Structure formats: C-alpha cells, structure tokens
C-alpha cells in the first residue's frame, strides 16, 4: 500500500460522501472475527483504523494509527463531546472493544512508509493505569454505552465509559498487530479491507489473541 499524507488528504474529501464510520455490519465479518480471553470468544464484527494526519515530525507519513475492533459502530463525527473522547460508539450494539495504538516511535519503518501487508507492528505499551482512549492500548467486553449525544444515519452514538464492563489495560510488553493483507481504497473508502491477527498481554498477565478479516472503516484523525 503506497499512500502518503497528500493521498490521505484526498481521503478526507472522499469520506465526506460516505457514512463516517465507513463500515457494514452485514458483510464485514466471519464467525472467527473477535478476541479470545481465557478460552472465551468475544465476537467483533467491525474493524476500523484511525490514521493520524498531523505528521508532527514532517516525514510525510502518519505519526500513529489506532486499530479498533468492536461489535458495534464507531464514528468521530461528533468530535470531543462530553467527556472529551474523540470517538463515539453505537448505543444499542457496542459492548466490546479492542484498541491497539501503533506509533512510529515503536515502529521505525513507519517513518518511511505506511502500514502494509506482510508486516508485524508493535503496539504501544504506554499505560496511564486506567483505560484512556487517547494514550492506551486496551481491550474491553460487557461495556454499556452511555446515553446518546448524537445520531448519524439513523444510529444513536454515545461514550463507552470505563465504569461499565470488564477492561484490560496494556502490560509492559506492547501488543502486536500482524497485517496479513490490507487494502485502503482511496477512491471508494467503503471498499477498504483488512486481514489481521493481534496479540495483547494485559497488565494482570492475561494473554489475549484476536483476529479479523473483512471490511475496514477509515477514520482520519
């Protein structure tokens, strides 16, 4: 995949004509898409990647990516609403979330190119001690999205508070993301797809593995 910051700016325009979560529950997932904790499988039917546009080190490539796997929908249309989170989650369908933050600081190859097929990336092991969407890699299930603060394309969205459900914070060893295949379609973003495996060692020693193969929602940060 050969894209640069200029191409990502084109994506901004393209995404304006599509549902901002750029995903499709009906066609995005197989029965093996999800994460496993202590032999229990938690299905996640949608996947997203958020792509940083800031390029603070001016190397022509994004500074970080967030890989997000969930059973609901995610959008950034509402900005920092309420508690200040950048992302909103569908109220009636979201209870599970795996978020792995991948930065150029942990993956020097991203300083000269974008995420691409056949590579393994190390996720951030930074932890604030509590789940923090802007800084931490994390995994959660049995979450309950708070009351809706907005509606997009007929779907109500709200925050996914850390006070509900079971949350795993990242341990001292960063998670890994293995890109088996990825296609980011800059002409028709809704056609973007990904095949990915990931591992996550939580701060309490719990080992979590995950897989997803299907459509990929693109969110530009």
pLDDT in tens, 131-156: 666 568 999 999 999 888 888 888 99
pLDDT tens per residue, range 45-56: 999 998 876 667
State pTM to two decimals: 0.84
Per DSSP, helices labelled H in 16-153 are: none
pLDDT tens per residue, range 177-195: 999 999 988 788 888 999 9
Among 221, 220, 198, 195, residue whose Cα is nearest residue 209: 198
pLDDT tens per residue, range 95-130: 999 999 998 888 888 888 788 899 999 988 877 666
pLDDT on residue 118: 93
Q: In the structure, how many helices (H) and strands (E) does the chain have?
A: 1, 15
Among 97, 151, 101, residue whose Cα is nearest residue 123: 101
Among 39, 31, 124, residue whose Cα is nearest residue 71: 31
CB 49 within 8 A of CB 24: no
The tokens describing 141, both together, are 């299930």
For residue 198, what pLDDT band results from cuts at 50, 70 and 90? very high
CA-to-CA distance for 112 and 121, rounded, in angstroms?
14
Distances (CA, A) of 127 to 13, 50, 116, 134: 34, 19, 26, 10
Percent of the chain predicted with pLDDT > 70? 76
Q: Which residues of 127-172 form beta strands (DSSP E)? A: 138-141, 150-152, 155-158, 166-169
CA 139, 143, 144: angle at the middle one, nearest 5?
A: 150
CA-to-CA distance for 61 and 200, rounded, in angstroms?
26
Q: What are phi and psi of 189, to 5 degrees?
A: -55, -30
CA-to-CA distance for 20 and 86, rounded, in angstroms?
13
Is residue 10 within a helix (H) or strand (E), and if so which, with residue range?
helix 5-15
How many other CB atoms sit within 10 Å of the CB of residue 56? 9
Q: What is the mean pLDDT of residues 13-41?
A: 63
For residue 16, what pLDDT band results from cuts at 50, 70 and 90? very low
CA-to-CA distance for 192 and 26, rounded, in angstroms?
15
Burial 180-218, CB ≥16 within 10 A → b, else e: eebebebeebbebebbbebbbbbeeeeebebbbbbbbbb
pLDDT on residue 132: 63
């Amino acid at each position: 995949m050969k894209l640069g910051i200029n191409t990502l700016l084109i994506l901004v325009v393209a995404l304006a004509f599509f549902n901002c979560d750029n995903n499709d529950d009906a066609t995005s997932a197989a029965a093996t898409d999800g994460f496993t904790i202590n032999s229990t499988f938690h299905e996640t039917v949608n996947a997203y990647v958020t792509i940083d546009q800031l390029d603070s080190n001016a190397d022509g490539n994004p500074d970080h990516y967030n890989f997000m796997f969930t059973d609901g929908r995610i959008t950034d249309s509402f900005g920092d609403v309420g508690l200040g989170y950048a992302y909103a989650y569908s109220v009636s369908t979201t209870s599970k979330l795996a978020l792995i933050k991948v930065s150029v600081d942990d993956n020097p190859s991203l300083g000269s190119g974008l995420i691409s097929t056949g590579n393994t990336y190390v996720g951030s092991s930074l932890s604030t001690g509590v789940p923090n969407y802007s800084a931490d890699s994390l995994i959660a299930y049995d979450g309950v999205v708070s009351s809706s603060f907005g509606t997009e394309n007929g779907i109500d969205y709200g925050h996914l508070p850390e006070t509900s459900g079971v949350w795993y914070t990242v341990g001292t060893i960063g998670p890994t993301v293995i890109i088996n295949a990825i296609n980011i379609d800059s002409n028709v973003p809704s056609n973007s797809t990904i095949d990915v495996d990931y591992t996550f060692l939580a701060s309490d020693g719990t080992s979590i593995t995950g897989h997803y193969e299907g459509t990929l929602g693109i969110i530009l940060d």
